[in-house]
Structure formats: structure tokens, C-alpha cells
Amino acid sequence: MRCCHADFALTEGSDRGFTLGMPTFTFGRGVLAEAGDQARELGLARVALFTDRTLAPGPLVAKVRESLTAAGVESIVFDEVEIEPTDESLQRAARFAAEARVDGYVSVGGGSVMDTCKAANLYASHPAPFMAYVNAPIGEGRRAPGPVKPHIACPTTAGTGSETTGIAIFTLRSMNAKTGIISRRLIPTIALVDPDVTASLPPMAIASTGFDCMSHSLEAMTARAFPRRLNSAQGVARPVSQGANPFSDLLGTQALKLVGEFLVRAVTDPSDEEARSEMMYAAMLSGIAFNASGCHLPHGLSYSVSGLARDWHVAGYPAGKTLVPHGMSVVLNNPSVWRHTAHAHPGRHLHCAASLGADTRDARDDDAGDVLASRVIALMKSTGMPNGLSTLGFGEGDLEALATGAEPQYRVIKNAPIDVGRDELKSMFRAALRYW
Ligand SMILES: NC(=O)c1ccc[n+]([C@@H]2O[C@H](COP(=O)([O-])OP(=O)(O)OC[C@H]3O[C@@H](n4cnc5c(N)ncnc54)[C@H](O)[C@@H]3O)[C@@H](O)[C@H]2O)c1
Ligand SMILES: [Fe+2]
């Protein structure tokens, strides 16, 4: 590829292309009210509206439903989405979808809601045993056999970017770890990204989802470059996550600049509408970026942290069950991972640190991991994040179990810029126990 950076130079046997998928998106204040028009434009007469129990009685769902009604589109509500979905909750949603006799879907919520809606749409459109579409080697990794029904995604958090991705993540209870279903066919048809939704988000949700967004871009830009990806399928079988590529670099760089400038403001000042709006935009950019490149170690490690956490609760998230918000579980491993991977690509790690606002003028290649880790730690401190995994109650005695939970996450771990085995996983978890 002549026009791009040497990182993307093709070698013998490289795939010569990369494929980018994204929805038609509309970004701007108040655009939730366009849901009805968009549904009518898609020719939908009756839709299933997915949301969670907290959001169901609130103004965001009401706004979308009113807009659908005004456009003559009937909506039936499914509000049983589980926050941090499981195989069981996805199957419940899929049963609802199969019986709902709808011609399209609208999701109003965070990643949990949008992911549940994507999975329900897939299983209702192409019925199959649950593990058929789940990522291999945990599931069969079967490709979605055809198009799914139109989906209008309305994110209400500023972080996952799920409104732009072909990914649905859930916890597989039998393994106590997260995995997912991934297909370009799951990318929502339309995304309505309305920063006004963030007004009601509690500070810890802004912080956690903001770090999810940050990590999506950091991982997209430090992933194995696409010509060297391990899954070499091409054409329509080309994987959704193809490794770092020029387009992900472009969007990721801009998203990191926004995170560096606006995350702390968005968390610490609830009246700062500009900061929240910029974070909403950054989340969307990061979503498009990591959908095309894939995540790697911070997400791979986070899946066993969220699966193994005991007795951890965060204000603004459903009470009554142990829950480490996704973005929190991801950022807790971040500094440790960057110290471990930077030697593979110091220039990229330094570029990420500089985009996030670190002063890299005197930094040498050997400093790259520390420079990026320090910038992430500074953001964690300023936003009230826990000081490493030990704050959640993890210790030396949990390292084996944490590594065991992370090891099967091949899809993301093999996308890392370096090869890691069980010993490296353990040492990254050890270094993530405490940061300051
Ligand atoms: N599909 C993807 O590409 C992708 C990417 C990253 C993360 N995820 C997944 O997304 C899930 C996390 O999603 P999330 O972080 O968006 O949060 P979430 O959907 O789990 O919601 C978290 C909490 O915030 C509440 N909430 C949502 N919007 C609100 C609002 N505007 N005001 C007040 N409260 C609100 C919810 O009711 C819930 O209690 C995880 O399962 C994660 O693995 C998916
Ligand atoms: Fe994420």
C-alpha cells in the first residue's frame, strides 16, 4: 500500500486490502427525535424497541417512542435487557424477537442494550443453536448466513461505540468470562448519536465509558498491523477486526485528542455540556476505529477481571449484583499492558501518548511504555478510578485464575502487537494490582 505509512507495507502473502463497515450515522443535539422519520424511510411499520429497566420509564425512551408514533411506526418495548448481558439474557431477548413479528429494531441504551438488540435480531433472523454464532474457539464462530433486519441504534452512554460496531459482547456463565458474536451484518443500519442523552449519566458512568472509548482507540492503533494479521481470510470472509489500518489511525488519533482534552472535564463538572458532547463524538469515532482493527490485551484481560470480581458495586449501576463497569475493568489493565507492549512499536505508543496530551518532546523509544502508562494513570487519578486491581480485592493469589480467564480470549489476544502466553498474562495482571 504505497500511500500509507511503512507500518502497513505489504509482504508476501499479506491481504492487499482492508474493509471498513459503519452505519449511516447522524450526530447532533436532539437527533433522537429523528428516529421515527428514519424508521419510516427504512419502510418499517412495526419495530421492537430494546432498552433496560432503568431507562424504560424515562424521557429518552419516551422521546424515541413519540417520534416513532408521530411517523406512524408501531413500537413494542422489550425492557428486560440485562446490564452486562449474559448468554441467558441474550437468549431471552432472542425469544422475544422471534415472537414479536416486527420488521425492524430500535435500541435505546448503552452497550448492554445495543448488543442485546443486535444478537436478538441475528437469532430471530437466522435461528441457530446459541453457540453457533459465538466467536471460536469458545463457540463455533459460524458466519451470519444473510442480512438481518434494519436496526436503528440510539446510544445513551458515551463510550462503547456499539452503535457503530458489528460486535455483541456477553458473559458466558459457564466460563465466567466475556466473549462475543462478531459480524459485519450486525452493524446497525442507522446510528442516532445525540449528546443530550449524557445529561443524566452519573459521573462514574461517564468516567468508565470514557475510558472504554480511550482504550478502543489505543488498542486500535497499537494492534498488529492489518497486513500481518493472523486470520488471512479475504473478500467477504475478511474478518471484521483486521488489525491496525490507516483509517483506524485517523479516527483513533482524533478520538484520543478529544479524550485527553475533555474526559476529566466531563466527569468532574456535570454542567460541562461541551465536554460531554465531545466525549460522545469521541466514542463514536473510536467505535468505527476499533470495529475495523479490533481490540487486544486491555480488553482481553478485562474479560476475566469482570468475570471474577467479587463484591464490587459502583454508584449509578444496578444495585444487588457484583458488577465492574466494562470501561473500569478495561482501564485497570491499561498502564500495565502499555509497559509490556511498547517495545514492539515505541513510535505508535508515543504517538498515542502525545494524542492524549502527554508531553513527549524529550521521550526516547525506551520510555514509550512509561510515558503512555503515566498519562493514563494521571487520567485515572483525576477521575476517581480505583488504584489497580488490588482495590477490587484481587491479589497475588488470584493471578492464576485471572490468566485462566484471559487465555481463551484468542480473538483479541492474538491481535496484540506481541505474542503473549500464560506467564506474560500473569505478569501483566501482577503489574496491574497497584499503580500509585
Ligand atoms: N459491541 C461493542 O462494540 C461494545 C464495545 C464496548 C463495550 N461493549 C459492551 O457494552 C456493555 C457496557 O455498556 P455501557 O458501558 O454503555 O453501559 P450499560 O449499557 O451497561 O449501562 C450502564 C448503566 O448506565 C445506565 N444508563 C445508560 N444510559 C444512561 C443515561 N443516559 N442516563 C443515566 N443512566 C444511564 C444503564 O441503565 C445502566 O444502569 C458491556 O457489556 C460491554 O462489554 C460492547
Ligand atoms: Fe470496550
Q: Residue 174: CB partners within 8 Å, gap ≥ 6?
A: 87
Q: Are 255 and 286 in contact (CB under 8 A)?
A: yes
Partnered with residue 179 across adjacent β-strands are 170
Q: Give the neighbor-by-neighbor strand order of the sheet with 74-81.
A: 24-27, 190-193, 151-155, 104-109, 46-52, 74-81
Q: How far apart are CA 91 and CA 97, in angstroms?
A: 10
Q: 426 CA to middle of ligand 2, Å?
A: 21
Quick count: other Cβ atoms within 10 Å of Cβ 12?
A: 4
From 29, 89, 157, give the residue whose CB has the most ligand 1 atoms within 8 Å, as the site to mutate.
157
**Could you give the residue ranges of the DSSP H alpha helices within 182-320?**
203-222, 246-268, 273-293, 297-308
Q: 126 CA to middle of ligand 1, Å?
A: 26
Phi and psi, residue 419, nearest 5°:
-80, 135
Q: Please tell me which residue, 36 or 136, carries the higher pLDDT value.
A: 36
Q: 421 CA to middle of ligand 1, Å?
A: 31
Q: 371 CA to middle of ligand 1, Å?
A: 30
Q: How far apart are CA 326 and CA 111, in angstroms?
A: 9
Sequence letter at residue 378? A
Task: Determine the average pLDDT of the residues in 195-204.
Answer: 95
Residue 1 predicted with pLDDT over 50? no
What DSSP string runs through 155-167? E-SSS--GGG-SE
The residue whose CA has the least distance to atom 33 of ligand 1 is: 201
Residue 13 predicted with pLDDT over 60? yes
- Give the nearest ligand 1 atom to 112 CA: 19
pLDDT band at 231 (very low <50, low <70, confident <90, very high): confident
Task: Determine the average pLDDT of the residues in 116-128.
Answer: 98
Residue 2 predicted with pLDDT over 50? no
User: Percent of the chain having pLDDT more than 70?
Assistant: 99
Quick count: other Cβ atoms within 10 Å of Cβ 251?
A: 26
Task: Give the lowest-confidence range in 170-179, 211-220, 337-346, 412-421.
Answer: 170-179
pLDDT band at 154 (very low <50, low <70, confident <90, very high): very high
Q: Which residues surround ligand 2, an ion (CB under 5 A)?
A: 212
Q: Are 173 and 126 in contact (CB under 8 A)?
A: no
Please give the model's pTM, rounded to 2 decimal places: 0.96
The residue whose CA has the least distance to atom 12 of ligand 1 is: 111
Q: Are 154 and 194 in contact (CB under 8 A)?
A: yes
Q: What per-residue confidence (pLDDT) applies to 307? A: 83
- Give the nearest ligand 1 atom to 205 CA: 24
Q: Please tell me which residue, 22 or 303, carries the higher pLDDT value.
A: 22
Q: Is 200 in the pocket of ligand 1 (CB under 6 A)?
A: yes
pLDDT band at 118 (very low <50, low <70, confident <90, very high): very high
Residue 125 predicted with pLDDT over 80? yes
- Give the nearest ligand 1 atom to 200 CA: 32
Task: Determine the average pLDDT of the residues in 25-49.
Answer: 98
Q: Would you say the C-alpha torsion 204, 207, 213, 216 has a positive or negative sign?
A: negative
3-class DSSP state of 400: helix
pLDDT band at 3 (very low <50, low <70, confident <90, very high): very low
- DSSP H/E element including 39: helix 35-41
Quick count: other Cβ atoms within 10 Å of Cβ 22?
A: 20
Give the C-alpha distances (Å, rounded to integers) separating 321 from 43, 374, 390: 40, 32, 20
Quick count: other Cβ atoms within 10 Å of Cβ 217?
A: 32
Residue 189 predicted with pLDDT over 70? yes
- All three cell numbers of 45, joined, read 411499520
Q: 157 CA to middle of ligand 1, Å?
A: 6
Q: Please tell me which residue, 405 or 104, carries the higher pLDDT value.
A: 104
Task: Give the lowest-confidence range in 163-172, 317-326, 364-373.
Answer: 317-326
28: left (phi over 0), alpha (psi -120 to 50) or beta: left
Sequence letter at residue 186? L
Q: Note the pLDDT tens digit of each residue in 349-407.
A: 999 999 999 999 999 999 999 999 999 999 999 999 999 999 999 999 999 999 998 98
Q: Residue 238: CB partners within 8 Å, gap ≥ 6?
A: 15, 17, 18, 19
Contacts of residues 6-15 at CB distance under 8 Å and 24 or more positions apart, as own/partner, are: 7/225, 7/244, 7/345, 7/348, 8/225, 8/226, 8/227, 8/244, 8/245, 8/246, 9/227, 10/227, 11/227, 11/228, 13/232, 14/227, 14/228, 15/226, 15/227, 15/229, 15/232, 15/234, 15/238, 15/242
Phi and psi, residue 379, nearest 5°:
-65, -40
Task: Determine the average pLDDT of the residues in 116-136.
Answer: 97
Averaged pLDDT score across all residues of the chain? 94
**Pairing mode, strands 104-109 and 46-52:** parallel
Q: Please tell me which residue, 311 or 215, carries the higher pLDDT value.
A: 215
Q: Residues 62-97, buried b or exposed e (16+ Cβ, 10 A)?
A: ebbbebbeebebebeebbebbbbbebebbebbbebb
What DSSP string runs through 200-222? G--HHHHHHHHHHHHHHHHHHHH
Q: Please tell me which residue, 377 or 14, carries the higher pLDDT value.
A: 377
Q: Residue 262: CB partners within 8 Å, gap ≥ 6?
A: 274, 275, 276, 278, 279, 282
Q: 228 CA to middle of ligand 2, Å?
A: 23
| 243 Cα distance to chain centroid | 15
